[in-house]
Amino acid sequence: MEKEKRIKSANPQAEQIIEWGEAHNLTTCFERAEKMKPCPIGASGACCKHCHMGPCRLVGKNAEEEARGVCGATLPTIAARNLLRMIAAGTAAHSDHSRDMAMTLLAVATGEAKDFKITDVKKLYRVAGTLGIEFEGRAVHDVAKDAALKFLEDFGRQKGEINYIKRAPEKTQERWRKWGLVPRGIDREVVESMHRTTMGVDHDPDHLLTHGLRTALADGWGGSMISTDITDILFGTPMPVKAEASFGIFKEDEVNLIVHGHEPSLAEMIVDVVSDPKMLEYARSKGAKGINLGGMCCTANEVLMRHGIPTAGGFTNQELGIMTGLVDAITVDVQCIMPALAELSKKFHTKVITTSPKAQMPGAIHVEYNEHHAKEIAEKIVRMAIENFPNRTTLGSHITDKFPVIAGFSHEYIEYMQGGRWRASFRPLNDAIMAGRIRGVVGLAGCDNPRVPATGLHRFLATELIKNDVLIVSTGCGSAACGSAGYLTPEMALEHAGPGLREVCEAIGIPPILHLGSCVDNSRILTIATAMAHEGGLSDEIGNMPAVGIAPEWMSEKAIAIGCYFAASGVPTIFGGESPIGASKEVTRIMTDVWFERFRGCLRFEPDPEKILALTYDYIDKARDRLKLRKYERGKFAAERVLMDMAARRELEKKPIAVPHVGVGG
C-alpha cells in the first residue's frame, strides 16, 4: 500500500513549490525535517553537555528522582539550565540587534550616518519623556543623541534597573520587585545566565528559572522595546498600509530583490534606492521593466509595516522563494537565515548576499553593511541584483497567487483609531471586552515550523479564535502565515469573525487580526497591555487580563525568550509542539503553576491544537470571571448587530487608510 503523503505546508502555494522541488531533486527544510529525527533525550531537556565529564543523559522511568549526572546534577537542574540557556540566547539575539539600532541612532544624531534622518520626532520626544531627557527647545539631534546614550546604558549597566521597567503598570512592577525580576543591565543578565548554567554553579531549578525570567524581561522591556522605539524614531511609526503577500509577489519582467533577516536599517535604505530613477534606468538597460523589492521573515515585517513592501512570507518560505527561480538577489543579515540558501541558490541564478559583520555563509557573497555608508552599500546591492537579471533562466516553480494584506498597527495607531488625534485611548477596546463583545485578546506570534504542516496551526487558531470573538494581535512569522493565507484584511472580519468582534471591527474599521510587526515588536503587545491596564475597567496590571499569548509553531530560542517575558509580565502563554523541558515534571510545574501564582502568567507547551484552543478560552474566561466581567456568550451580539450600509462599506475599502502621522503626545 502506498504511504499517504504528508502535507508539508498548509499554504497551497508553498506546497506546490515543495512538490516541484521534489520532482527536481531539490531538498528543503521539509524533507530534512523528515529525515532528521530529533534526539528524544535532548528534545525533552534531559541532556546536559555543559562539561566534558558528560554529556550526561538523564533517562529512565525514575529519572526525575533517581538519575544523576556525573557531577550529581538532577533532571530538574539540567532541564532548568537548558531552558535558561535558551532564554539567554534569545535575549542576546534580540538585544544585540537592538544595540545596533541604538548605535545607528547615535550615529544619525552625531551626523556620522548621513543617509538616515530622524523621521518621527514626536515619538522621539515621547521616548525622551520616559527616559527623563529634556527635549523642549532643544535641537532634535541633541535629544536623539541623549536618548541613544541612555539606551546604550541599558546594555552595560551593572547595578540598578533598566529604563523601561517603569513603563509597566505599577502593580506589575511590584510583582517583579517582590520576586527579584527587575533586570539590571541587558548584557549583565545574559552573561549571568551563562555563568549560572556552567558546570557547578546554580543548581536550584526555581532559582535558575527566576533568573530566566529576569533575563527575559531584559529582552521584552529592554532590547526588544528599545529596538521597536528606535526603529519608529528613525523610520517612522507604522500606520495601516495595504500590501501583498505570498510567492505571487515576484514579477517575471522585473528585477526581484529580497531583503531577509531582521535588522531594518539596510532594508530601509534599499527601499529608497530601488525607486531612484538612475537605478530604474539601469534596470531597464538590462532588459527589466523595473525593480521589485520583496521581504522575507522579520525584515519583511519591518518594511511591510512602514512602506507596504510585499512579503514572500515567513521562515519556511525562504528556500521556496529561491525555488521560484525569479529571485535575482537576496540579502540576509542575522537570525532565522537557513544556511541551506547558499547551496540551493547555486542551482538557480540567485545571488545570496550576506551583509552583517556578524554573519557570513560559505557560498554566499559578502557585502558588509555599515550605517556610515548605508546608501553606497544599498546601491551596490541593488546593482548586483540588476546585473543578475539577464542570467535568469526558465527553471523554477512560478506561482502567481498573492493576497492583499493590511498591516501597520503600531500601538500608537491602535490608540489613535479608537478616538482620533485628541482623544486617543483604549476605551472602546476595554469597553468591548467588558461588555463581552470581544471575549479577550490573543497575541499570535512566533515562527512557522517544517515539523508540522507549516503555517497550518497559525491558520487554524486564527480562524477559530476570531470566530469566537477573540481579537488577535499578530507579529513575526505568525503574521506572515496569516497574511499569505489572505487573513489580514477587514473583509476577513465580515466573513469569519464572531458577531461581537465583527461589530467592533466594523465600527472602528479594523481587521480582526492586527499585524503589529516583527518579532521585536512583540514589545508593542506589552505596551498595548499596559495601556489597557491604565485605561481602567479591566485589570490594573498586565496579569489578570483576559489575554493569552500563543506561539503554535515556535522553533527559535528567541521565541522562548519572548514566551518567558510574556509570562513574567502576566500573560499566560501557550507554545505548540512538545516541551523542550518536558522530561522534568518539577520544571514544568514551576513554569505553569508557580509562575502563574506569582505573576499571573506562565509558559506551557501543548502539541494538540484543539487543546491549545481549550486552554486559551479557559484562561480568558477565568480572567473574565476574576474581573467580574459580563459572561461571554457566543452569538449574543448577533441579534443586536446593525448592518453597515453600502457607503460605510465602501469607506472601509478605501485603502491605504489615510491618516495623518500619528500624534503620540509629547
Of the pair 55, 666, the CB lying nearest ligand SF4 is at: 55
Distance CA 222, CA 144 (A): 18
Segment (H or E) for 437: none
Q: Give residues in contact with ligand SF4 (CB under 6 A).
A: 48-51, 53-56, 69-71, 73, 78, 199
The binder of 358, among ligand SF4, ligand NFS, none, by C-beta within 5 to 8 A per type, is none
Contact 257, 321 (CB under 8 A): no
Q: 172-183: string of b/e by CB count within 10 Å (b at 16+)? A: bbebbeeeebbb
Of the pair 54, 509, the CB lying nearest ligand SF4 is at: 54
Contact 138, 144 (CB under 8 A): no
Of the pair 410, 539, the CB lying nearest ligand NFS is at: 410
Can you point out the beta strands (E) in 268-415? 291-296, 329-332, 351-354, 365-366, 403-407
> 251 Cβ partners below 8 Å, 6+ apart?
289, 290, 292, 326
Of the pair 193, 475, the CB lying nearest ligand NFS is at: 475
* Least CB distance to ligand SF4 at residue 564 (A): 22
Contact 28, 320 (CB under 8 A): yes
- The candidate with the shortest Cα–Cα distance to 55, out of 77, 37, 71, is 71
> 244 Cβ partners below 8 Å, 6+ apart?
310, 311, 402, 403, 404, 405
The binder of 477, among ligand SF4, ligand NFS, none, by C-beta within 5 to 8 A per type, is ligand NFS
Amino acid at 383: R
The binder of 499, among ligand SF4, ligand NFS, none, by C-beta within 5 to 8 A per type, is none
Contact 509, 414 (CB under 8 A): no
The binder of 476, among ligand NFS, ligand SF4, none, by C-beta within 5 to 8 A per type, is ligand NFS
Of the pair 51, 89, the CB lying nearest ligand SF4 is at: 51
* Least CB distance to ligand NFS at residue 442 (A): 16
The binder of 53, among ligand SF4, ligand NFS, none, by C-beta within 5 to 8 A per type, is ligand SF4
Amino acid at 434: M
Pairing of strands 403-407, 241-245: antiparallel
The binder of 336, among ligand NFS, ligand SF4, none, by C-beta within 5 to 8 A per type, is ligand NFS
The binder of 69, among ligand SF4, ligand NFS, none, by C-beta within 5 to 8 A per type, is ligand SF4
* Least CB distance to ligand SF4 at residue 45 (A): 12
* Least CB distance to ligand SF4 at residue 188 (A): 23
* Least CB distance to ligand NFS at residue 556 (A): 4
- The candidate with the shortest Cα–Cα distance to 590, out of 174, 77, 195, is 77
Please spell the DSSP secondary structure of 53-73, one letter per residue: T--EE--STTHHHH---TT--
* Angle (CA) 235 516 113, round 5°: 15
* Least CB distance to ligand SF4 at residue 78 (A): 6
Of the pair 317, 418, the CB lying nearest ligand NFS is at: 317
Q: Is the peptide bond before 55 cis (omega within 30 degrees of 0)?
A: yes
Of the pair 78, 322, the CB lying nearest ligand SF4 is at: 78
* Least CB distance to ligand NFS at residue 562 (A): 8
The binder of 534, among ligand SF4, ligand NFS, none, by C-beta within 5 to 8 A per type, is none
* Least CB distance to ligand NFS at residue 297 (A): 4
* Least CB distance to ligand NFS at residue 300 (A): 9
Of the pair 459, 600, the CB lying nearest ligand NFS is at: 459
* Least CB distance to ligand SF4 at residue 484 (A): 42
The binder of 191, among ligand NFS, ligand SF4, none, by C-beta within 5 to 8 A per type, is none
Of the pair 257, 297, the CB lying nearest ligand NFS is at: 297
Q: Give residues in contact with ligand NFS (CB under 6 A).
A: 262, 297-298, 314-315, 335-336, 446-447, 476-477, 519, 556, 558-559
Contact 378, 412 (CB under 8 A): no
Contact 461, 551 (CB under 8 A): no
Of the pair 262, 502, the CB lying nearest ligand NFS is at: 262
Distance CA 419, CA 407 (A): 20
The binder of 447, among ligand SF4, ligand NFS, none, by C-beta within 5 to 8 A per type, is ligand NFS
